[in-house]
């Protein structure tokens, strides 16, 4: 939950005294080891303000891995958790270009900051006055107003929305239980160009969406599904997977759409196995991705890909051997190879790696990987070298 900020707290934190106090507190270690002593020190210096100061410094430190240039921002714990990572927000903003835009659920402004970098006309609104006051401090270039996203208060802009994903503290897959509810939000802005960020697991079947659904991953984790209304979608595209990576300080992305070719050969397994990114699997674009990179599927119903080389930047598993899958046969094969630790990948068969691993009784020294799946009806295990990133 975290500390519950008030408007008076924000007034203090953005005052010269508050800024000075934050600087002092930021110099403290505030680790588990020093926390009690540090808190005592902050209380002695700043009395009742101690909690708001310590919380703000800790949230700023947590934000550093997710948001760029947010070292002087204000957050609540929930708002930081809900914020869009800078790389994802920046990519969305770049796609919108310099069109005027209204972020109708702007919260503390993570998405808004990226939008102001791309467009000169950016409006933000939110129902929560505390978050809005924080956004005013965090993104001074945006015009901000307190407004209900279900009652349009702007004209002629693209509308960006990011309904809150938690209902009663739990994640929800029901679009009607978001805040604001997604069906009502779509009704309210009907006819406007609209982008809505949603949870990747959301059940879109009830929406009958006519535009594009983009599934986005960041550094291997699927982060969101984003709805683009028909006026913003690329012609002919209804699904897109955007795979974003921060590699050695450089932002990289690849996107695959259902307008790309998906002709792939049916061939025997190649020298490598590639487990495609979750965004590609979730968007149903495994074949399209394979076709682009000269890969093919182990089995047409399973998302594992195979080929004789691994696409640059992707993790691949070099195949050493293929056996018919049974626990006993796998144990014998791994023992024969002096295996001491194993990464287990499973698709299409009912095997729990956490249950299987101790039963393999590995006592050797070599690290290996095993890909367990099925080809046709047969369960197979590919014994592989540990995964390696091509070009790393
Ligand atoms: C997931 S957060 C948005 C995060 C934001 N995109 C960011 O990157 O920082 C959702 C926001 O919607 C706001 N909200 C919920 N219902 C709303 C409504 N009916 N009208 C306007 N804002 C609303 C919440 O106060 C919350 O700040």
pLDDT tens digits for range 327-386: 999 999 999 999 999 999 999 999 999 999 999 999 999 999 999 999 999 999 999 999
Q: Whose CA is nearest to atom 11 of ligand 1?
A: 105
Structural domains of the chain, count? 3
| 242 plus 164 within the same structural domain | yes
Query: Domain check: are 367 and 301 in the same one?
Result: yes
Ligand 1 site, residue 179, Cβ cutoff 6 A: yes
* CATH number, residue 251: 3.40.50.150
Residues 27 and 157 in one domain: no
Instruction: Evaluate whether residue 71 is within a structural domain.
Output: no
Please check whether residues 111 and 163 belong to one and the same domain. yes
Residue 264 within a domain: no
Instruction: Check whether the bond before 180 is cis (ω within 30° of 0).
Output: yes
State in Å: Cα 110 to ligand 1 middle: 11
Verify that 101 and 59 share a domain, yes or no.
Answer: no
Domain-embedded: residue 229: yes
Mean pLDDT calculated for residue range 280-309:
96
Give yes or no: residues 53 and 88 share one domain.
Answer: no
Is residue 66 pLDDT above 60, yes or no? yes
Q: Domain for residue 319, yes or no?
A: yes
Rounded-to-integer distance, Cα 226 and Cα 255, Å: 14
Question: What is the distance in A from the centroid of ligand 1 to the CA of 68?
Answer: 20
Residues 239, 129 share a domain: yes
162 Cα: distance to centroid of ligand 1 (angstroms)? 6
Nearest atom within ligand 1 for CA of residue 160 = 6
Residue from 387, 363, 252, 374 nearest 310 by CA: 387
Q: Is the pLDDT score of 19 beyond 60?
A: yes
Q: Same domain for 287 and 333?
A: yes
329 and 385 within one domain: yes
Are both 136 and 242 inside the same structural domain?
yes
- Whether residue 74 lies inside any domain: the answer is no
Residue 219 lies in a domain: yes
> In whole numbers, what is the pLDDT of the chain averaged over residues?
94
Residue 313 lies in a domain: yes
Q: Are residues 112 and 235 in the same domain?
A: yes
Tell me, in angstroms, the distance from the centre of ligand 1 to residue 104's CA: 7
Ranking 156-165, 177-186, 245-254, 330-339 by mean pLDDT, the lowest is: 245-254
Domain assignment present for residue 159? The answer is yes
C-alpha Rg value of the chain to the nearest Å: 25
Does pTM top 0.95 for this prediction? no
pLDDT at 168: 57
Ligand 1 and 30: CB distance under 6 A? no
CB neighbour burial string for 182-203, b if at least 16 within 10 angstroms, e if fewer: beebbebbeebbbbbbbbbebe
Judgement on whether residues 227 and 329 belong to the same structural domain of the protein: no
Domain of residue 309: give its range.
272-389
Instruction: Identify any residues that bridge with 124 across adjacent strands, giving them in sequence order.
Output: 103, 144
């Amino acid at each position: 939950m975290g500390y519950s900020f008030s408007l008076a707290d924000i007034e203090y934190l953005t005052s010269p005294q508050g800024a000075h106090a934050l600087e002092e507190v930021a110099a403290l270690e505030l680790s588990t080891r020093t926390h009690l002593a540090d808190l005592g020190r902050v209380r002695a210096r700043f009395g009742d303000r101690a909690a708001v100061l310590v919380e703000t410094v800790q949230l700023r430190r947590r934000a550093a891995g997710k948001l760029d240039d947010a070292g002087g921002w204000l957050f609540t714990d929930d708002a930081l958790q809900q914020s869009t990572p800078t790389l994802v927000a920046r990519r969305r903003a770049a796609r919108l270009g310099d069109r005027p835009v209204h972020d109708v659920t702007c919260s503390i402004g993570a998405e808004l900051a990226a939008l102001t970098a791309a467009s000169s006309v950016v409006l933000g609104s939110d129902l929560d006055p505390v978050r809005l006051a924080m956004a005013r401090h965090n993104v001074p270039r945006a015009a901000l107003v307190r407004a209900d996203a279900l009652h349009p208060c702007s004209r002629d802009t693209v509308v960006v929305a990011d309904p809150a994903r938690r209902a009663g503290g739990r994640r929800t897959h029901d679009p009607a239980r978001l805040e604001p509810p997604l069906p009502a939000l779509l009704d309210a802005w009907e006819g406007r160009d609209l982008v809505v960020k949603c949870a990747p697991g959301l059940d879109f079947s009830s929406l009958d969406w006519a535009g594009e659904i983009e599934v986005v991953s960041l550094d291997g984790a699927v982060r969101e599904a984003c709805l683009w209304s028909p006026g913003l979608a690329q012609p002919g595209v209804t699904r897109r997977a955007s795979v974003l990576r921060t590699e050695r300080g450089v932002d990289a992305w690849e996107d695959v759409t259902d307008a790309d070719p998906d002709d792939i050969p049916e061939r025997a397994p190649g020298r490598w196995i590639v487990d495609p990114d979750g965004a590609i699997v979730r968007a149903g674009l495994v074949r399209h991705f394979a076709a682009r990179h000269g890969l093919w599927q182990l089995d047409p119903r399973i998302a594992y890909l195979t080929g004789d080389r691994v696409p640059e930047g992707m993790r691949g598993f070099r195949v050493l051997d293929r056996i018919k899958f049974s626990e006993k046969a796998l144990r014998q094969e791994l023992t024969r190879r002096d295996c001491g630790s194993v990464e287990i990948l499973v698709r299409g068969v009912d095997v729990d790696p956490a249950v299987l691993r101790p039963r393999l009784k590995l006592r050797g020294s070599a690290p290996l990987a095993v890909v367990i799946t099925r080809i046709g009806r047969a369960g197979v295990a590919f014994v592989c070298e540990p995964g390696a990133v091509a070009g790393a």
